[in-house]
Amino acid sequence: MSSVKVLITDPINEILIKTLKEKGAEVDYRPEIERKELLDIIENYEVLVVRSRTKVDKDVIERGKNLKIIARAGIGLDNIDTDETDKRGIKVVYAPGASTDSAVELTIGLMIAAARKMHAAMNLAKSGIFKKLEGVELAGKTIGIIGYGRIGTKVGIIANAMGMRVLAYDVVDIREKAEKLNAKVVTLDELVKESDVISLHVTVGKNAKPILDRDKFEKMKNNVIIVNTSRAVSVDGKALLEYIKSGKVLAYATDVFWNEPPKEEWELELLKHERVIVTPHIGAQTKEAQQRVAEITLQNLLAAMKELGMI
């Protein structure tokens, strides 16, 4: 496998780098490479490994004339133009499910933080002001889970154990699974009307229409809490800002933003709002998840290389 050249353009667990080298690959580890340089050198590599920072769009793929495999060390492929890879016959591998537990734990943490106004309370306390801010209990409340897959299902199980009523919505048939897990399957309109907390767990393209648009915001309860650890574009950000400012949305707790870091004026206003809690896309950023991501990505990458006769 000595002739196989691998380019890694994002920080990755060293197990992947070490194993590829042990297999005889020529590994070029460039975790801070800029886009211009990437475009200049990508034609020299047969394998590209990325995480979230590197955007593998049409330009990168077209310049990568010798690319045979693109591996994403993550659970989704939203930063890879899979239409273009399909056209070019480039295999794409990733690590679905590797960071499920980490994402679930962050979701629950954000939900509790929003309900108890922890962000504001901690900021006050650290500035020397010990003021008791009144929050809300989650026990007895209704959580609506949009996207009842691996992550959404586990969030529902934990929420139910906390005494919450669980509603679930998905575009696929989830009735059998939901019934076993004490969740009620509803339409999207029913979910937004009945939920005290709405938690998003969906995979959508960057140009997809928002799931929570102005129509859905109008149908929500007053003082609803929205948690988003999946995709920013699943929420109409400008509408969200309006409903946060009006007070209808009690809190928005998110691990994802439309631009990371935010750059639009409305994004920056949301970012600074006292009832918006933001973490910098850390859903999978645990030691355990990153180890699993690297191991599963490596396993799938080696399988693809074997299939293509590269090893």
Q: Tell me the Ramachandran region of residue 266: left when phi exceeds 0, alpha when psi lies from -120 to 50, beta otherwise.
A: alpha
What CA–CA distance (Å, rounded) separates 83 from 58? Answer: 9
Peptide bond into 261 cis (omega under 30): yes
Whether residue 253 contacts residue 225, with contact meaning beta carbons closer than 8 Å, is answered with yes
Phi and psi at residue 170, to the nearest 5°: -155, 160
Which is catalytic among the residues 34, 37, 43, 260? 260
213: alpha, beta or left? (left if phi > 0; alpha if psi -120 to 50) = beta
Which of these is catalytic: 30, 88, 150, 281? 281
Torsion (CA) 216, 219, 222, 226 in degrees, nearest 10: -30
- 201, 231, 275, 292: the catalytic one is 231
Give the separation between CA 293 and CA 309, rounded to whole angstroms: 24
Cβ-proximal residues to 284 (8 Å cutoff; 6+ apart), any chain? 74, 75, 98, 99, 102, 103, 290, 293
Does residue 281 carry a catalytic annotation?
Answer: yes
* Rounded-to-integer distance, Cα 184 and Cα 147, Å: 13
Cβ burial 155-178 (10 Å sphere, 16+ → b, else e): bbebbeebebbbbbbbeeebeebb
State the catalytic residues: 231, 260, 281
